[in-house]
Chains A and B, each alone.
Chain A
């Protein structure tokens, strides 16, 4: 199916905006999109994508959020794969009535492996930082990405070759010995890990380059982003970022690689949220209910703030533009304010300009600017989704009015929106909201 329009779902904020519910909806047969697979293209087991449907609730971490519909998941080479958590998640899904969850997986052999050694190192490091923790899920994501930069790190494919895997795990353990040794954290014997990883390799389908094309031959792909683009390793508010490329460039590249076109959907709530440290200029004690997000020992507190079109506009820009908006939590009332501008030490600011890619100095300056920014609030008039569409110049495709699959309303066709061009879309949206 050359030229198929594949979908990319990214969170325009700091995560928790409702990617899971969105992907679940897109994968539903009723949506008529013919989704053949969900592809994960960043992050790892730290993802927490909630899906509530038909009396079931699951927080998807490594399995794609289309799993309740039996849609297979491809863990691409950009994923960090954690098999122990994967096994536990498959057990949870089986208990929820998903037949043979592990049979729905295809895992790219080139994906990095997150091991209990990385996790122990992550936690030992965060404990040592004490109160100056900079926000982490404690799932070893950063350590996995960081170690792989300078070392031959264990990969999913290594699980098939115990001798190679053992060598890599021994060196990984030796590398972290000084950090983990004196800490309260530990891990199982490397023998036990190697045996378990061998079982993992025997139980799931390990794949390589051709897998995406094979999956695309069966239908449409939905690329499910993790976290939020404002946490992107190069474009986020440095240093309060994740060790992962969150904005959709990897997804776009993979889609181009199979000759398809990308339709990118950006997800946001009608207000801002953030886990842990880092700028949140419109932060306010909104007190909106948050049933699925607590305060993790490593993550820090769950924070809320007024809608911030300035941050969201920046997010759209660093995504290289998006094709549609998904606005969630429209059932939450009392979020009638949004940032019109910020008062900053450099005067009023109404726009954040992206720097060059990988210019962390620029990102640091943005963080400093936003940390000292005071928002100038304006009322949100009328339907918040339409109001936001107008402000961002992006049409609303789907709105969420509650946590359940049935709380979603389709505002316009998911596909084909880009044929009209941004100008036309903006005009149409403006006309509708006028």
Chain B
């Protein structure tokens, strides 16, 4: 017990009690479902509109903060991933801390939808290092929409991370954070200025190319895209080619969606040079994630056990 600021036991107990009281693990979503759809909005904790910056700062206790952002596609069947995440949040944080993958991880959660069709296409929480992470997750609205055009507004989330996040890791140490986007579709063809204006509130007049926003993002973030085996898109070569084109080998296919927490933890451990693949997989088995370790091993496949590159070689 006791990974510094995170102990899974009160969290688990609270979850059990809330379930008994009929409070959904995604209580905000349950609350919204009782209201007319046209009144749905992001929880104030997660509303990206008019936000100056989301900050990931060092503190007296946490002098070496490492920003980790996890953004879910919450459209359609992808809604299951946040539930898995919530179930294993304690394990993710525990793995990062207890196995020494990261000294002071601060985790931000967010959710991605479709800015063309959804009420709430973007939600961005705060960086947290304690049980408040769970609060952020619970406040996520699982809208479950998506327009069926095989694309979601991932590029809008990328824009927010590039323009509206400040981290001590970068400002003081020149160190990049980790961004994981978990989804199963393509970016919109362009980063639309009207989406930025409507959802984030920045007065942007011209559309931006998707490539350039990911290029800007990669200066301060190791960006990963995880495609879990949740839908027919898992085997769609267009999806794979699109993301490989943007992120190279940081496009990861995960055949067991239940292993997403473990994949994130180990990817950070590898990126931080704290562990190699074999040791990391042994660590996962050590904490009881035996099946998950196999899936993570397959997702990381023939990857070298050395540092993972954030971007493919320059174009």
Q: Which residues of A come within 8 Å of B, CB atoms?
A: 83-84, 86-88, 90-91, 100, 102-103, 116, 185-189, 191-193, 195-196, 199-200, 202-204
Contact = CB atoms under 8 A, between A and B. Distances in A.
Interface string B5-48: 11101111110111011010000000000000000000000000
Contact of B14 (A88, A185, A187, A196): A196
Given A195-B14, A196-B14, A189 B5 contact: yes
B18 A199 contact: yes
B17 A192 contact: no
Max chain B CB contacts within 10 Å: which of A88, A192, A200? Answer: A192
- What does DSSP make chain A's interface, helix, strand, loop or mixed? helix
Given A87-B16, A90-B16, A187-B2, A192 B10 contact: yes
Contact of B20 (A103, A193, A196): A103
Interface of B: 1-2, 5-7, 9-14, 16-18, 20-21, 23, 130-131
Given A192-B130, A192-B131, A199-B18, A87 B12 contact: yes
20 contacts: A84-B10, A84-B12, A87-B12, A88-B16, A186-B2, A188-B2, A188-B10, A189-B5, A189-B130, A192-B130, A192-B131, A196-B10, A196-B17, A199-B14, A200-B17, A202-B21, A202-B23, A203-B18, A203-B20, A204-B20
Contacts of A186: 1-2
A116 B10 contact: yes
Nearest to A91: B16
Nearest to B135: A195
Contact of B9 (A90, A116, A199, A203): A116
Contacts of A90: 16, 20
Nearest to A94: B16
Contacts of A193: 10
A417 to B, nearest CB: 40
Contacts of B20: 90, 100, 102-103, 203-204
A189 B18 CA distance: 19
A251 B131 CA distance: 40
Top 6 A-B pairs, shortest CB-CB distance:
A87-B13, A203-B17, A199-B17, A87-B16, A203-B20, A196-B14
B13 A200 contact: yes
Nearest to A100: B20
A200 B16 CA distance: 9
Nearest to A195: B14
A88 B17 CA distance: 10
Nearest to B132: A191
A87 B17 contact: yes
Nearest to A115: B10
Nearest to A200: B17
Contacts of B12: 84, 87-88
A251 B16 CA distance: 31
A204 to B, nearest CB: 8
Nearest to B131: A192
Given A84-B9, A84-B10, A203 B131 contact: no
